[in-house]
Amino acid sequence: MTQKTRTAIVTGGLSGMGLAIARRLEADGIDVTVGARRGGEPETARAILDAAGVKARSAALDVRSSESVERFVADVVARRGGVDILVNAAGVYVEAPVEGHPDAAWDDQIDTNLSGTFRMIRAVMPHMTGAGWGRIVNLASVAAHQGMANNAAYCASKAGLLGLGRCVSLEGAAHGVTCVSISPTWVETEMLKSFIDADIASSGRSREAVRADYAASNPQNQLVQPEEVAELAAFLVSDAARALTMADYQVNAGSLW
């Protein structure tokens, strides 16, 4: 009997690690639906996916909204009959010191990075437990383990994912559902490239010099690539990863940040 094609949802799948993971899962024959705020702009989303060689469907998804999450998941289930894999890669990052920290910056990072992940898991869990198989991967960060000045909201949101994942893994264990997280250090994504651009603008230094500073933050002296994170994610959602749950895997190149 031919095994049915697995169905995956990747949030934040129009950029960075989410896009790399969507591409990698497709290479394994998995049917992927990408959710992102820009997913509601079909031409823009299709252009991004095509440029990356990704055939995945895309749709509007705002993980800050329970209504948006439930509608998105319901559409995938209606088309595919269920959801086997969920990769939560949607996230935002804003720096601010604790003193004078704007409520809006705190609320958006907690709501997107942590509560948004919770909403997605809550929506897919009944389909996974009912089917007796499921894989959930949350994109955390080394910030889940280490503090950094001016990053209270981001660190708190990512640390929260570890606690959430432990609870989900326990509730899913008897039903064949695993939940793990991946915690990368600096990854050469669009977000990091925007930081490099800002450093160039403020310092007048060359792109090569600024990029080298980020690379030197780890002893391997190389920036982690989105594709490296995607390779790990692909294994963690496979049948071979059945016993891997309630764990966090750091892709840190030997660096705490």
Catalytic residues: 154
The per-residue DSSP string of 214-256 comes to HHTTSTT-SPBPHHHHHHHHHHHTSGGGTT--SEEEEE-TT--
Q: What are phi and psi of 188, to 5 degrees?
A: -80, 80
Nearest to 183 by CA among 98, 112, 113: 113
| H/E run at residue 72 | helix 66-80
Radius of gyration of the chain (CA): 18
Q: Residue 134's beta-bridge partner residues?
A: 177
Tokens matching residue 255: 């660096």
Q: Where are the alpha helices (DSSP H) in 81-115?
A: 103-109
Given a contact cutoff of 8 angstroms between Cβ atoms, the answer to whether 21 and 10 are in contact is yes
